[in-house]
Amino acid sequence: MADLNAMLAWTFTQEIDVPKSVDDLLVPGEVAQIAYKTVRDTAVVTNKRFIISDKQGLTGKKVEVYTIPFKSIIMYSSENAGTFDLNTELELWTTLGRFKLNLAKKVDIRKLDKIIAEAIL
């Protein structure tokens, strides 16, 4: 499982406007609800999944897109930041394994919590 955790290691640094480029990836009935800046990329949360763009190479022209459907989430936990913590954590248990998403302290973990809960419950 270490390979999955290493591969799926993203940090959401701040909430941003949903990029127009995600429109080409949405299926009928899917709505983009929130987006986050990552170190080099963006993550969009829809009513059905996470869509995470991962720019690669020196120029960033090559982009890999990861999709994590909410229907694959079996359980999740969220942890808000304490006084001395730099970030909050969202841990997902999926049909493929378990991994964590890190969120900067200024990102509202409870807002993301609610979007996930509405989608999977």
CA–CA distance, 49 with 72 (Å, rounded to integer): 9
Q: pLDDT for 21-47, tens place per residue?
A: 899 999 999 999 999 998 778 999 999
Chain mean pLDDT for the chain: 85
Which letter, b or e, does each residue of 1-15 get, where b requires 16 or more Cβ atoms within 10 Å of its Cβ? eeeeeeebebbbbeb
What is the reported pLDDT for 2? Answer: 45
